Chains A and B, each alone.
Chain A
């Protein structure tokens, strides 16, 4: 099951990556929208339909879990599985970055 999830989530969509990245700490949907907006200097603004859809999908797949509700806002945090998948994705992006700079695994 976990292997299948890893294949589904890696490579990840940009939205998925930022949401899972932010959820390394407790946050609700709108927190994430604002945080991502700040992090990317306004280049990435996650719309509410996309946010809700991604959160519910990730919760269903066990990547994040619901912590508590504050004033109708659901607060989530990444599970160990979610963090593991995020690490895989980070490694993939690091490899992409190194390769894009002309570094290859053979040359090491």
Chain B
């Protein structure tokens, strides 16, 4: 969507897609649109600029509030511009350097794999918890309720059974997508 001096694009990236998101943002700036802000749930607000090759990088560092300033300072010292935080992810950018290693915020395999570990622990595990402790028990509960002798209870349960069945499918699809994605990244990083 075009705006007065820029555009708004809607994209949805899961936790395993941060590299695709980085590439998407770089591509927009090459076309002359620089990221200004992100609006939940999935809107990227751009403003028009001169086309540049700007590298975007996302970090998930679990920084405590009192350490945030010093965290950003290390990146600034190394030539990165800090943009903002979304859902625990910090967005950084810098003009692309000829040397590839200067365009990265992680310089060794271990720290890249550590990043995947933090994302799994803070994002994937809580989702699994909701799945196992809410969606799955509810699905079973409503299934038994469907055969209730009270017709009202049965109707009620049938409705919620299908609701939780839909949630079950959405969650399963998300898990597979994210699990496979994170695993693929891990294998890629391990190869160096």
Contact = CB atoms under 8 A, between A and B. Distances in A.
A47 B105 contact: yes
B17 interface: no
Interface string A42-73: 00111111111110110000000000010111
Q: Is the interface of A mostly helix, strand, loop or mixed?
A: helix
Contacts of B115: 49, 53
B177 interface: no
A81 B65 CA distance: 28
Interface size class of B (residues with CB under 8 A): 20 to 34
Interface in B101-123: 101-102, 104-108, 110-111, 114-115
A33 B111 CA distance: 16
Contact of A29 (B63, B77, B80, B114): B77
Contacts of B128: none
Given A45-B102, A72-B69, A50 B74 contact: no
Contacts of A53: 61, 106, 111, 114-115
B101 A45 contact: yes
A14 to B, nearest CB: 7
Q: Is the interface of B mostly helix, strand, loop or mixed?
A: helix
Interface residues of A, number: 24
B10 interface: no
Interface string B72-110: 111101101000000000000000000001101111101
Interface of B: 57, 59, 61, 63, 67, 69-75, 77-78, 80, 101-102, 104-108, 110-111, 114-115
Given A47-B107, A49-B57, A52-B63, 17 more contacts: A13-B108, A13-B110, A15-B110, A15-B111, A45-B107, A47-B78, A47-B105, A48-B77, A48-B80, A48-B105, A49-B59, A49-B75, A49-B111, A53-B61, A72-B70, A72-B73, A73-B70
